[in-house]
Amino acid sequence: MSIADEIAGIPEDNDEEIRSARERGCKISLLQLQLRDEKAKLKQAEADLVQARELVEIVEATKDQIKVRGKKRNVTKSKSSGTATAIIGATDWHLEEAVDPDTINGLNETSLDIMDTRINALWDKSLFMLDFARNISDIKSIVLWLGGDLINGYIHEEMEESNFAGPTEAILLAQDYVVDGIDRILKEAKPTDLTVICNFGNHGRTTQKRRVSTGYRTSWEWLAFNNVARYYKKNPKVNFQIAKGYHAYLDIQGHVVRFHHGDQMRYLGGTGGLSLPVNKAVDSWNKSKHADMDIFGHYHTWQADWSWVSAGCAVGYNAYALSIKARYQPPTQPFIVVDREYGRVLAEPIFVAPPVKMP
Which range (51-60, 155-164, 272-281) has the least confidence?
51-60
Specify burial of residue 122 (Cβ count, 10 A radius: 0-12, 13-18, 19+).
buried
- The helix (H) or strand (E) run that includes residue 266 is none
Which of 15-29, 118-132, 268-282 holds the top average pLDDT?
Answer: 118-132
Measured N-to-C along each axis, helices 167-184 and 220-231 cross at an angle, to the nearest 10 degrees, of: 40
Neighbours of 223 (CB within 10 A): 18
* pLDDT, greater one: 13 or 232: 232
pLDDT range class, residue 81, cuts 50, 70, 90: low
Which range (46-55, 69-78, 334-343) has the least confidence?
69-78
Phi, psi of 84 (to 5 degrees): -145, 165
Rounded to an integer, the average pLDDT of 110-136 is 97
pLDDT range class, residue 277, cuts 50, 70, 90: very high
- Side-chain-side CA neighbours of 165 within 13 Å: the count stands at 19
Tell me: pLDDT of 75 over 50.
no
Neighbours of 345 (CB within 10 A): 16
Find residue 255's DSSP bridge partners: 252
Q: 281-291: per-residue pLDDT in tens?
A: 999 999 999 99
* C-alpha 108 chain-centroid distance: 23
Which range (111-125, 173-187, 343-357) has the least confidence?
343-357
CB-based contacts of 344, cutoff 8 Å, min separation 6: 255, 293, 309, 336, 337, 338
Helix, strand, coil in percent for the chain, rounding step 5: 45, 20, 40
Tell me: pLDDT of 217 over 90.
yes
- Report the candidate in 116, 198, 216 with the shortest Cα–Cα distance to residue 164: 116
Residue 273 is predicted with a pLDDT of 77
Tell me: pLDDT of 45 over 90.
no
Helices then strands (H, E): number in the chain?
A: 8, 11
> Residue type at 191?
P
Residue 268 is predicted with a pLDDT of 63
* Backbone Cα Rg of the chain: 37
- The beta strands (E) that lie in 103-212 are given as 138-146, 193-198
CA distances from 15 to 2, 7, 20, 117 (A): 18, 10, 9, 101
Phi, psi of 328 (to 5 degrees): -70, 135
Q: For residue 168, give the DSSP letter.
A: H
83-351 is a CATH 3.40.50.1980 domain: no
Cα separation, 118 vs 143, whole angstroms: 20
Which range (59-68, 151-160, 250-259) has the least confidence?
59-68
- Report the candidate in 274, 276, 219 with the shortest Cα–Cα distance to residue 246: 219
Q: 261-270: per-residue pLDDT in tens?
A: 999 998 766 5
Mean pLDDT score across all residues of the chain:
88
Tell me: pLDDT of 61 over 90.
no
Rounded to an integer, the average pLDDT of 271-279 is 83
Rounded to an integer, the average pLDDT of 153-162 is 92
Residue 341 is predicted with a pLDDT of 95
Residue 13 is predicted with a pLDDT of 58
Cα separation, 135 vs 99, whole angstroms: 39
The answer to whether the CB of 308 falls within 8 A of the CB of 301 is: no
Rounded to an integer, the average pLDDT of 37-61 is 76
Rounded to an integer, the average pLDDT of 272-289 is 92
Residue 321 is predicted with a pLDDT of 84
Residue 359 is predicted with a pLDDT of 62
Q: 20-31: per-residue pLDDT in tens?
A: 766 776 777 777
Tell me: pLDDT of 336 over 90.
yes
Rounded to an integer, the average pLDDT of 274-285 is 94
CB-based contacts of 237, cutoff 8 Å, min separation 6: 186, 191, 192, 193, 194
Find residue 194's DSSP bridge partners: 142, 238
Residue 24 is predicted with a pLDDT of 73
pLDDT range class, residue 38, cuts 50, 70, 90: confident
DSSP labels, 198-220: E---SSSBSSSSPPSTTGGGGBH
Rounded to an integer, the average pLDDT of 103-121 is 96
Q: What residue spans define the domains of the chain?
A: 1-76, 83-351
